[in-house]
Structure 1
């Protein structure tokens, strides 16, 4: 029971932290530090190529593909609770990100962009806050880390967790290096993603016991 309420505590701490940063952004109080970090990492050099790879891994198309594969795997293994949990988590995360972007309507540091899906524009402005790349990737990777506890081979679980943590750091960082997001965009996105994940986890594990992948 304590574990379930620990999920709720993490959810609330991250949510409050997100709201704090969001309000600071809304009133322009993060602009100086955002510009400072932007100028600090402007000359990426050889680092730029690696960051482009990382940002492609976190693209909507890549995350959609990985999400679909995971859902198919869960469905084939008859893990109904995990299937619906991940479905709700993923779809809700996308809608949450879209709602927050439309609410805050923060312009990007670079040129104005439109939302694209598989190379086709939706004629909708892609706002900066919070980062969609970051939210999509963090939510997916947190779920991946969560289900690794069901793996029987611990060394595989450790490798998966290490790679996931590396991507959770690298993908958001790539958005700042490539000058398509401010630092506050990705920090806020990480916080709200963690909040959303643990909020969903609290709701699902409150009713259903944790399940194991066979």
Structure 2
């Protein structure tokens, strides 16, 4: 039989920082800690990958070149594959994904979920600004191929397509999963999000306009931005004295959104 341990008190008589952040009974603090830790843990491999790219680390360069050459050879022998990848990369390019996110923000505003709408917009904007800035700072050239099957302008690292696909997938999951009552619907949303992220990144390498490390960096940065903005908005909610619920619950708990009375 387990006994409930009283919270560790700080000298002021309030629960300690560790207790507020890690105690499962304090859901807000625990969620904030996990989100901040996730952002940090994802940024570590992203920073390491960036340093390896800047230092032109030979093993990474050989791996990138080998994958690019192999996929380029396959693309040259399979025109239908190139058409499919071109269609996918255009349909799920950054601008169409931002347009979908904008429509989602407008829908949330009309439903009264203003805080969730602001989080979604901030996530897309922060990620959208971070990508081009890092491209300029790193200044990595795109793959140089004989007889390329596609072309793209600008620098290569990180992949903007991979970054924005990850941001859009994260926003769609946070916003839509709470409305999916059936497990099959939730599973379908997760599968769609994974396909959007993975295939969009794959299309950039398959078309020879990005190295594999560019795409991996875009994925990592996207996950880090989603985790960081989630932590920031969760903390902001606590600072403004609102109920300790997550972002998705904030939208779903709104009577205009969920069709029920908020507690």
**Of the two, which has the highest radius of gyration?**
2
**Alignment counterpart, residue 70 of structure 2, candidates 12, 26, 40:** 40
User: Does structure 2 retain, via aligned residues, the 8 Å contact 1:11–1:199?
Assistant: yes
**Alignment counterpart, residue 161 of structure 1, candidates 162, 172, 190:** 190
- Taking the aligned partners of 2:208 and 2:144, their CA distance within structure 1 comes to 6
User: Does structure 1 retain, via aligned residues, the 8 Å contact 2:92–2:200?
Assistant: yes
**Alignment counterpart, residue 61 of structure 2, candidates 31, 39, 42:** 31
Deviates more, 1:44-53 or 1:11-20: 44-53
User: After the TM superposition, which residues 13-92 of structure 1 pair with which residues of structure 2 at under 5 Å, given as runs?
Assistant: 13-29=41-57, 30-42=60-72, 43-44=74-75, 45=78, 46-92=80-126
CA offset digits 1:50-103 (Å, max 9, x no partner): 212221122133112211111111111111111111111111111111110110
Where in structure 2 are there 5+ consecutive unaligned residues?
1-28, 146-150, 238-244, 259-263
> Does 2:168 correspond to 1:140?
yes
CA offset digits 1:156-189 (Å, max 9, x no partner): 3221221111111100000000001000000011
**CA-atom RMSD, angstroms?**
1.6
User: Does structure 2 retain, via aligned residues, the 8 Å contact 1:93–1:196?
Assistant: yes
How big is the shift at 1:152?
4.2
Residue equivalent to 1:131: 159
Residue correspondences, number: 203
TM-score, L = length of structure 1? 0.89
**Alignment counterpart, residue 100 of structure 1, candidates 119, 123, 134:** 134
- Taking the aligned partners of 1:175 and 1:32, their CA distance within structure 2 comes to 18
For residue 153 of structure 1, give the secondary structure of its aligned residue in structure 2: coil
Structure of higher RCO (CA pairs closer than 8 Å, 6+ residues apart): 1
User: Does structure 2 retain, via aligned residues, the 8 Å contact 1:58–1:134?
Assistant: no
- Taking the aligned partners of 2:230 and 2:49, their CA distance within structure 1 comes to 24
Where in structure 1 are there 5+ consecutive unaligned residues?
115-125
User: After the TM superposition, which residues 179-190 of structure 1 pair with which residues of structure 2 at under 5 Å, given as runs?
Assistant: 179-190=208-219
**Alignment counterpart, residue 5 of structure 1, candidates 15, 33, 36:** 33
- Taking the aligned partners of 1:152 and 1:48, their CA distance within structure 2 comes to 35
- Taking the aligned partners of 1:143 and 1:110, their CA distance within structure 2 comes to 34
TM-score, L = length of structure 2? 0.73
